[in-house]
Amino acid sequence: MTTVSGTRPVVGVLALQGAVREHVAMLERAGARAVPVRRPAELSEVDGLVLPGGESTTMSRLLETFELLEPLRARIAGGLPAFGSCAGLILLARQVLDGRPDQQQLGGLDVVVRRNAFGRQVDSFEADLPITGVPGGPVRAVFIRAPWVEKAAGGVEVLATVPGPADPDTGPDGPRVARIVAVRQGAVLATAFHPEITGDERLHRLFVGLVREA
Ligand code: GLN
């Protein structure tokens, strides 16, 4: 099963929906050999897996259609390093708030996420975020109908937060709750934002490092 060739680990990108090409390009720049994954046989060949953004309810359905749901759950439970962005974070979470009742979870992250958490007013936004474990200054983070992590268990390391939306009761000048938007639990990494579209491969480098360690 292990297919590490030299020091270039093989990292899959779940290719059911979303920015697959962008993740492949970033992983290659970060020192991995990147391959799209659509079938169980392809999944069994990878040393790590990226779950891109998209629509978590659709991706959940496609995982079932492509017969990837159970094999992927099993590999994640077995310690497969995984990196989820946005919808990928939602899929990896133990529990989803504001999800669809039939949407499936992969597990891997002992967190509760809230879908579309930032609300309509701030549907999409960008921020420069310092991220624990990412050297070289803040990362430009692009949020698109993003979730946040509402609760994280003790074993989950919070890597980044952003100020949440204004509270209607206290208005725009009131206090803002810091919302968790990047986490790591062992070899599982996840961001509420899209790290693949800014040309900055530092988060992919962090992930490829986790894959090498695993
Ligand atoms: N809102 C989407 C969902 O629920 C996630 C958005 C994204 O991946 N950019 O899956």
CATH number, position 8: 3.40.50.880
Res 5: pLDDT: 47
Strand 48-51 and strand 82-85: pairing? parallel
Alpha carbon distance 64, 67 (integer Å):
5
- Confidence (pLDDT) at 125: 93
Q: Which residues line ligand 1 (CB under 6 A)?
A: 53-56, 86-87, 90, 115-116, 144-145
Ligand 1 center to 116 CA (angstroms): 7
Return the closest-CA partner of residue 186 out of 105, 82, 39: 82
pTM: 0.94
What pLDDT sits at residue 168? 81
The reported pLDDT for the residue numbered 6 is: 57
Residue 143 phi/psi, 5-degree rounding, is -105, 125
Which residues does the chain have with pLDDT short of 70?
A: 1-6, 120-122
Q: Which residue range is the domain that position 57 belongs to?
A: 4-213
What pLDDT score does 122 carry? 64
Residue 194: active-site member:
yes
Share of the chain above pLDDT 70, in %: 96
176 is in an annotated binding site: no
Give 145 Cα–ligand 1 centroid separation in angstroms: 6
| Closest of 48, 37, 36 to residue 2, by C-alpha | 48
211: alpha, beta or left, given left = phi > 0 and alpha = psi -120 to 50? Answer: alpha
Using CA atoms, how far residue 126 sits from 31, 49, 73, 170, in Å, is 27, 25, 32, 24
Number of independent structural domains in the chain: 1
Say which residues have a Cβ less than 8 Å from residue 14's Cβ, sequence separation at least 6: 20, 37, 49, 50, 51, 52, 59, 68, 72, 88
86 given a catalytic annotation: yes
* pLDDT for res 7: 82
Question: What's residue 172's pLDDT?
Answer: 84
CA 55/CA 51 separation, integer angstroms: 11
Going 44 to 79 to 140 to 58, the CA torsion angle's sign is positive
Residue 4 confidence (pLDDT): 46
How far apart are the CA of 21 and the centre of ligand 1, in A? 18
